Amino acid sequence: MSNSKDDDAVAGPVPVAPVDAGPVLAADGTPLKRSLGRALRRQKGRALLLIAPLLIFVLVTFIIPIGSMLFRSVENDIVANTLPYAVQELASWDAASGELPSEAVYKAMYDDLFVATEAKKHTRLGSRLNYEQTGISSLFRQSGRKVDDLAKDAAKALEDAVPAFENGETWYALMDAGDGEGNTTLLKNTRGRIGRLNDGPASADMDFVPSAEIAALLPRTARTYTEWAIFEVTDAERVPTNRAPWELVSLALLEELKTADLSGLSGERAALLQQAQAVDFEIPSYTDTFAEIDQDWANVTAWETLQTHSAKYTAGYFLNAIDAQKTPDGFAWQPEEKQILLTLFGRTLVMSLMITGSCILLGYPVAWLLANLPASRANLLMILVLLPFWTSLLVRTSAWKVMLQSQGVINDVLVWIGLVDDADRLVMINNQFGTIVAMTHILLPFMILPMYSVMQTVPPTYLRAAKSLGATNWTAFWRVYFPQSIPGIGAGSILVFILSIGYYITPEIVGGTKGVFISNRIAYHISSSLNWGLAAALGSILLAVVLVLYWCYDRIVGIDNVKLG
């Protein structure tokens, strides 16, 4: 007989048929997974709404302004917007040929420069190009004063021969479509240019519409009159209906009428234009006109500068930031006497590291005392550490200037105790030493506080345990205490280094010519030279350097090891 227990052991457990229970449902009958997902999304949405005001504030007041400023490092639309027709004609000119541009380029330049002078933008354009070629600013300034001489002669000849052109109503009736269905493309394109010239959109309240018939017959005249009409509305805020236009319009009309076919016109317009066509006015070469205005226009250098820097986006500012320049032939280094920025970058990095190191050496003992002294003494010492925050930065820096100068307190004490001869006083101001001393004093609290907050978390029992196992005081400190304080050193070092690399007030006051940082040049270009493009490029490079160093620190030390307590 077989044993039933043995049979069960051989057969194993009896299989149970799977039961299809379906998805787990919530109380409202929806699948639990979907219900949990919906609740999680609602929770995240409420959390986002709570921080939305802060995010919007940071975006509007921090990210957008900084992004806009950094964008200036590649933005270069002033040349293309101010001289659009000249830039278009210059595109086909070969600067390497050594020959001057064609007559068409000079003609387009005359129109653009005339309009820019009326809009008072020619000096700004000259200032921009003066960053690339010294002296070109005065060229544009002088040319702006003389560019309208030819146009004035043309306007006088036209008005003397046909007195009707003295009235603004005559011009308006000649150029306006009347029925409102004129050359809207010309109006739109011109509005865009005038809007850019005046740093704002053109007015929408524009009753004038250039005549399609006149625009086809006299395109330059119609374009120039339209530019003037929009300029009157947007900039001068005057109605162009009864005002005489720019003299440039008269010049363009007389020039185009010399070859225009008026046979297709009839009525008052035809009669008026036929009278103007009969005016005897000899228009000189625009090349000769510019040569008479200034001989530099008869040199290819000015035109090369215009062509090289006419693109809407440029790498020229970044090249200038590394002591190079953009030339018609490509990349080139600045003259040796102008190569200063790379030196300043190197000096900024080296001195910032030295300041960080000096803050570590001076701040570590103070932080250790703060963390290990009794509470009453530690509180008094903390007040002394925080005391500099209650004093103006300018006052602290000026105090160091008084103390470090040749006749200052420190030199007087050294002379009094006999360590320094009165004739050989130490030079401690207007150099790198003065900058390091002053900035170390200013940034020292930023190093002490992170180290103190970390040291406070180190249990003192660790040191006693190490000593009980036979370690000396130095071994206990170096093997047990110091490794646990490294996160505080890292946090303080990052804070001090980033602050020091961007300081400019202290180096400006105590650094002289040998102790200034690259940030001083950034401040100079923003407030004095107004070369915001170069300042933005220098700031972008400085930001990139800081991010690279931060990445290296993260790879070597690990940012996760940085703690503030």
Task: Check pLDDT > 90 for residue 317.
Answer: yes
What is the pLDDT averaged over residues 178-207?
Answer: 70
Between 480 and 185, where is the model more confident?
Answer: 480
Average pLDDT of the chain to the nearest whole number: 87
pLDDT digits (tens, 9 = 90+) for 371-387: 988 888 888 888 988 88
Model confidence over 346-356: pLDDT tens digits? 999 999 999 99
pLDDT band (50, 70, 90) for residue 262? confident
Whether the CB-CB separation of 488 and 563 falls below 8 Å is answered with yes
Residue 231 tokens, joined: 């300029």
Residue 420 pLDDT: 86
pLDDT value at 495 more than 80? yes
User: Does residue 58 have a pLDDT over 70?
Assistant: yes
CA distance 407 to 426: 10
DSSP one-letter code for 313:
B
pLDDT at 9 over 80: no
Average pLDDT of span 188-215 = 72
pLDDT of residue 124: 92
Q: Where are the domains of the chain?
A: 28-70, 82-148+285-308, 163-277, 341-561
> 82 or 12: whose pLDDT is higher?
82
Percentage of the chain exceeding pLDDT 90: 46
Summarised one tens digit per residue, pLDDT across range 138-178 is: 999 999 999 999 999 999 999 999 999 999 999 998 998 87
Q: 């190197």: which residue's tokens?
A: 346
pLDDT at 376: 85
User: How many angstroms separate the CA atoms of 542 and 536, rounded?
Assistant: 10
pLDDT of 399 strictly over 80: yes
pLDDT band at residue 221, thresholds of 50, 70 and 90?
very high
478-487 tens-digit pLDDT: 999 999 998 8
User: What's residue 336's pLDDT?
Assistant: 86
Task: Please tell me which residue, 183 or 69, carries the higher pLDDT value.
Answer: 69
- pTM to 2 decimal places: 0.81
Give the mean pLDDT of 528-536: 91
State both tokens at 556: 């070597």
Q: Which CATH class is domain 341-561?
A: mainly alpha
User: Is residue 332 helix, strand or coil?
Assistant: strand
The Cα–Cα gap between 111 and 83 comes to 9
13 pLDDT more than 60: no
Residue 206 confidence (pLDDT): 66
The gap from C-alpha 185 to its chain's centroid, in whole angstroms, comes to 34
- Say if residues 492 and 483 touch (Cβ distance below 8 Å): no
Q: Is the pLDDT of residue 127 over 50?
A: yes
Q: Is 31 helix (H, G, I), strand (E, B) or coil?
A: strand
Q: What mean pLDDT is predicted for residues 46-57?
A: 90
Q: Determine the pLDDT at residue 563.
A: 58
How far is it between the farthest Cα atoms of the chain?
A: 142
What does the block give as tokens for 426?
């130490």
Contact 234, 203 (CB under 8 A): yes
What span, in angstroms and rounded, lies between the C-alpha atoms of 104 and 332? 30
In angstroms, rounded to a whole number, what is the distance separating the alpha carbons of residues 56 and 78? 31
Whether 447 has a pLDDT exceeding 90, the answer reads: yes
Question: Average pLDDT in the 530-554 region?
Answer: 89
**According to the model, what pLDDT value does residue 419 have?**
87
Helix (H) or strand (E) holding 327, with range, is strand 324-327
